[in-house]
Every structure is written in structure tokens, then in C-alpha cells.
Amino acid sequence: MKRKISSYFFYFILFFFCFHNISAQRKVQTTEEVKLFEASTSSSCGNSSDPYKKKYSRQSFYVPQKNDQVITLKITIHIFKPLNDSGKWQMNDNKVNGMPALKFLLDSITNGHQERYSAKRSSSYKVENFNSPYIHDSKIRYEITNVYFYPEPALYTTYSDFALFEHIEKVDKSRIEEGMPLVFNNSTGPGHLSSYKGASAIVTTISSFDPVFGRSHLLHEIGHAFGLGHTYINGTGGGSDWQNFNGACGSDDYLSDVFPNNNPACQHEREATTKPDNAPCFSCYESTPDTSNNLMGGQRYNRWMSPLQMGRRLRALHLNSNAGRNLRHFVKDMESDHKNIWTINENETWDFDIQVYKDILVKAGITLTIKCKTALAINGKIKLESGAKLIVDGGEITTWCKTGNWLGVETPVKKKSAKITESPIKLINGGTINKAKMQMPVGK
Ligand SMILES: [Zn+2]
């Protein structure tokens, strides 16, 4: 009995945390916002090309493949405390609120533990002909860069996200840029997605130590930083992937692998007013008793990510998506994938700002035009087959890594007897190639 009460209690806390404010995605500092991390805003970044609309902006494009490299998201922990070593996360407490407990909690969601691999879907409701495809490895892991402490009694209980971020920055500016800030204090407010200077951050209180709740809670909050909404619905609107989160039935971002169409439970909405229909799909949002173990649901053991949710997470590491919260800037530097590459089979114009993790191959006779910013990983290359062209039209090709440069553009080897022809690489309208290791013949 006792166990039952406590599990309800934790469910209540989780419900409270999620239900109240994640959706709000608190906007911090509305005026004179200075961006820490600039995405390219050149006029040629229109995000309106066909390749963008039909391919690169779609979460389905990024659904992880079996042989893809794993990408690491860096997270930096900031803990606000009272002046003395009391309250949450005490140095000398080996019990519920001490550092060993915190370490145990953080270990469970980092370094390829429970943040990377998805559980299989299970649900309390059955829908005929619905089998969400299952992918085990999401290809994203989290890594903690550091845990910093701030003995600041006023900030220990503040509800002002901005005050917390500003203090961290004042202490050491580099800490804000080191990894996605995950800030703990004891405001007792609900955990929520926040942002500082254009980048994602999470602010949360964990009221009672419970590793299962804590893990689910943190995975869920970080899920919001990737642009995922709830599988349940917020009374206040927003924050739900079911309908209100730019993902209405049938739209590009709709999670058709989470919400079964023609769900009988929501076709009787007149009888069950808590489950309105989402015509024409007739999918339901999840609410007790019809729930699943989805990462973004409200259950304690929520570790299932659908393929499209995984795709959206990976998209957030490529594009500056999720309302401009630049999560991709917190990705750990890595070597470009030279085996599983992107192949360009038809002429494409890239008028969007993208962070790339793989080499790019432009097939024979095809032209790739870069009008915005394309940033490759360490030693990444763009390979041009015979007759392929690369035109940098007012845009930029560079690296997104801080500790190494990309390789450059590889052009086909010419026979000695071949006549001198013009370079397949062209820079026009102020286009630039920066931070490449190789020297490249460039035409205008
Ligand atoms: Zn939430």
C-alpha cells in the first residue's frame, strides 16, 4: 500500500512538472536579445528552396540509419545552493540529496546509457493495424562536461531563469557556452525548457530523490530542447505534439508513428469528452488510462522514442530549429563520417544553414549550389564526381567544429593529357570557403 501511495505521489510530481510549464517554454529576455550563437541570417538564407521544403527540413529525412555515427550532446550542470552546505545536492551527504545520488542520476542519462537507446513501445490501449516501427539506437548520446556549484541563497529559490543564467555568465562566461546548461535550484517551480541568448537551456528542481522519476524527468525535459512536444495535451495550449505543436494531423511534423490513426478511443469523443478527435486522422492524445511509455508522455518508465521523434532530435542537431534555440552548438566536435555519406543525385540549391556530420558526394554532372551556410565536421569533405559542380553563391562552406577544420572539396583527378578546363568550384556573389585544410582551385 505504501508503495502504491508513493508511486502515485511521484506520478503527481511528474505530472505537475510536465503539465504546467514545459509547454510554456519560457522565453527569457525579450528585448535587446544578444545571441551567443549566431545562425547565418544572410539574405540568401531563404529556407524556401525545394530541397529544404521537401527534404532537409523534414524530420523523416533524419531518422537514424543503422550505421550512422553517434553524435554527442554536451550538457553542463549548474547547481544553485544555500550558503551553507544544506538543501539539495550536498557535498557531504551520502544519502538522498548528496553528490553520489546526483552522480547516479546523471550517469543514467549520459554516455550512451538510457538517453541513447529506446525501449520498445508499450501502451495501455490497443489500436488495430498500428505497429510503430521500432529503432533501438537513436544515435545521440549525452555527456556531462562539468558540474558547477553556486552558493547563492537568493538564486537558490528564484523563479527567474534570466537571473540564474546571468549569474553563471558573470562567474565565467565560458561556462554558458561549454554545454547545454542544465540548471538546478530549489524554486520548486516546474522543470521547463528555457533559453539564454538564443541557445537552449533547462531549469529544474527535483523535489524528492527518486532515480526513476529523476531519469524520466530529465530525459523528458531534454526532449523538449530537441523540439519534442508532449504526447498528452496541455490545457493552456502548446507543448503537445498531438495537435497544437505545429504538428496537426497530416502536417510535415506530425508524429504518425506515435498517434495511431482511427483510434477508436477518440471516435467517441461525445461520450468521452476528454478525448477529442483530430480529424481526419482520428488520433487521440494520450491521457490516463490510454497512455504509452513514450519519452514525452507523463509516465515514470517513459523510454520509448519513435523513429520520427528520433528524426526530429537529429534534425535539431543539423538545423537551428525549435524556435531558434540553437541546440546544435552544444554538439561535441567529431570526425566527419566518411563511410555513410550524403549523396546528391539531382541539382540542389541549399538556401538554409546546416551543420553536417557526414561527407557529401555530388554525383557526375550534378550541381550543388550553396547560398547560405554549410558547416562540416572535422576532416569532412565534399567530393565532386566528373562533371559535378559546386557553386558557393553568396554563401559559406566552413566547419562547425572548434578543435579542427574540415578537409575541403575533392575534385576528379585529371589525366595529364587533358586540356586545362575551368574549375568545378565557383565562388560568386561574395561566396566563401573557410577553414578547409586543402588548397582548392577556385573559379569565379
Ligand atoms: Zn514536458
pLDDT of residue 17 exceeding 80: no
State the distance from the centre of ligand 1 to the C-alpha of 375, rounded, in angstroms: 31
Q: Residue 220 Cα, ligand 1 centroid: separation in angstroms?
A: 6
Co-location of 288 and 363 in the same domain: no
Q: For residues 357-369, give the mean pLDDT.
A: 98
Spacing, Cα 190 to ligand 1 middle (Å): 9
Range with the poorest average pLDDT among 54-58, 169-173, 203-207? 203-207
Are residues 55 and 123 both part of a single domain?
Answer: no
How far does the centroid of ligand 1 lie from the alpha carbon of residue 292, in Å?
15
Q: Assess whether 12 and 58 both reside in one domain.
A: no
The whole-number average pLDDT for the span 179-205 is 92
| Residue 207 CA neighbour count, 13 Å, CB half | 13
How much is the pLDDT for 44? 84
For 201, the grid coordinates are 537551456
Residue, of 218 and 34, whose pLDDT is higher: 218
Taking only the tens place, the pLDDT of each residue in 211-244 is 888 899 999 999 999 999 999 876 554 478 887 6
Rounded to the nearest whole angstrom, what is the distance from the C-alpha of residue 388 to the centroid of ligand 1? Answer: 46
**Domain boundary, last residue among 267, 284, 316:** 316
In a domain, 321, yes or no: no
- Could you tell me if residue 263 is inside a domain? yes
CA distance 295 to 308: 12
* Distance between Cα 241 and ligand 1 center (Å): 11
Cα separation, 145 vs 260, in Å, equals 39
- Cα of 194 vs centre of ligand 1, distance in Å, is 12
pLDDT tens, position by position, 112-148: 999 999 999 999 888 888 888 999 999 999 999 999 9
Residue 210 pLDDT grade (very low, low, confident, very high; cuts 50, 70, 90)? confident
How far apart CA 231 and CA 249 sit, in angstroms, is 13
Query: What pLDDT sits at residue 236?
Result: 56
Ligand 1 center–CA 382 separation, angstroms: 39
Please indicate, yes or no, if residue 308 is contained in any of the structural domains: yes
Q: How many CB atoms lie within 10 A of CB 370?
A: 26
Considering the chain, what percentage of its residues have pLDDT values greater than 90? Answer: 58
- Predicted local confidence at residue 301, as pLDDT: 83
Centre of ligand 1 from the C-alpha of residue 3, in Å? 25
Domain holding 425, by residue range, is: 42-63+335-444
Identify the pLDDT of residue 439.
87
Q: Are residues 420 and 311 in the same domain?
A: no
3-class SS string, 160-198: CHHHHHHHHHHHCHHHHHHCEEEEECCCCCCCEEEEECC
Name the pTM for this structure. Answer: 0.88
What average pLDDT does the segment 25-30 reach?
A: 38
Give tens-digit pLDDT for 157-184.
999 999 999 999 999 999 999 999 999 9
Going from the Cα of 29 to the center of ligand 1, the distance in angstroms, rounded, reads: 22
Distance from Cα 223 to the centre of ligand 1, integer Å = 8
19 and 165 both lie in a single domain = yes
> Cβ distance 294 to 287 under 8 Å?
no
Whether 303 is covered by a domain: the verdict is yes
Same domain, 170 and 241: yes
What share of the chain in percent tops pLDDT 70? 84
Q: Decide if pLDDT at 85 tops 50.
A: yes
Please indicate, yes or no, whether residues 282 and 174 belong to a single structural domain of this protein: yes
User: How confident is residue 38, by pLDDT bands cut at 50, 70 and 90?
Assistant: low
263 CA to centre of ligand 1 in angstroms = 23
What is the C-alpha to C-alpha distance for residues 18 and 40, in angstroms, rounded to an integer? 33
Q: Determine the residue type at 177.
A: E
Given 254, 285, 316, the domain boundary residue is 316
How far is ligand 1, taken at its centre, from the CA of residue 232, in Å?
A: 9
What is the Å distance from ligand 1's center to 152 Cα?
27
Distance 231 CA to ligand 1 centre (A): 9
Ligand 1 centre from 34 Cα, in Å?
27
CA of 426 to the centre of ligand 1 (A): 47
On whether both 53 and 152 belong to a single domain, the answer is no
Taking a C-beta distance cutoff of 8 angstroms, is the pair 168, 149 a contact? Answer: no
Give the β-pairing of 71-81 and 140-151. parallel
The predicted structure's pLDDT at residue 91 = 75
Q: How far is the CA of 162 from the centre of ligand 1 (A)?
A: 20
Number of domains in the chain: 2
What is the pLDDT, as a whole number, of residue 419? 67
* Distance from the alpha carbon of residue 317 to the mean position of ligand 1, in angstroms: 20
Distance CA(20)–CA(10), nearest Å, equals 15
Question: pLDDT at position 323, please?
Answer: 80
pLDDT for 3: 32
User: Is the same domain home to 271 and 355?
Assistant: no
Same domain, yes or no: 133 and 182: yes
C-alpha of residue 23 to centroid of ligand 1, in Å: 7
Q: For residue 235, what pLDDT is reported?
A: 57
428 inside domain: yes
Domain boundary among 316, 350, 383: 316
Identify the bridge partners of residue 144 per DSSP, sorted by sequence position: 75
Burial 399-425, CB ≥16 within 10 A → b, else e: bbbeebbbbbbebeeeeeeeeeeebbb
The single-letter DSSP state of residue 203 is E
pLDDT one-digit tens code per residue, 371-408: 999 999 999 999 999 999 999 999 999 999 999 999 99
DSSP string covering 131-143, please?
A: -----SB-SEEEE
User: Best-predicted range by mean pLDDT among 22-31, 305-314, 414-423?
Assistant: 305-314
CA of 235 to the centre of ligand 1 (A): 13
Task: State the chain's mean pLDDT as an integer.
Answer: 85
Is there a single domain that holds both residue 389 and residue 421?
Answer: yes
Query: What is the whole-number distance in angstroms between the Cα of residue 195 and the centre of ligand 1?
Result: 15
- pLDDT greater at residue 39 or residue 296: 296
The whole-number average pLDDT for the span 20-26 is 35
Q: Residue 76: is its pLDDT beyond 70?
A: yes
Q: Which residues contact 111 (CB under 8 A, 6 or more apart)?
A: 141, 142, 143
Say yes or no: 285 and 341 in one domain: no
Residue 19 has pLDDT above 60, yes or no: no
Q: Is residue 329 part of a domain?
A: no
Cα 297 to middle of ligand 1, angstroms: 8
Ligand 1 centroid distance, CA of 101 (Å)? 23
234 alpha carbon to ligand 1 midpoint, in Å? Answer: 9
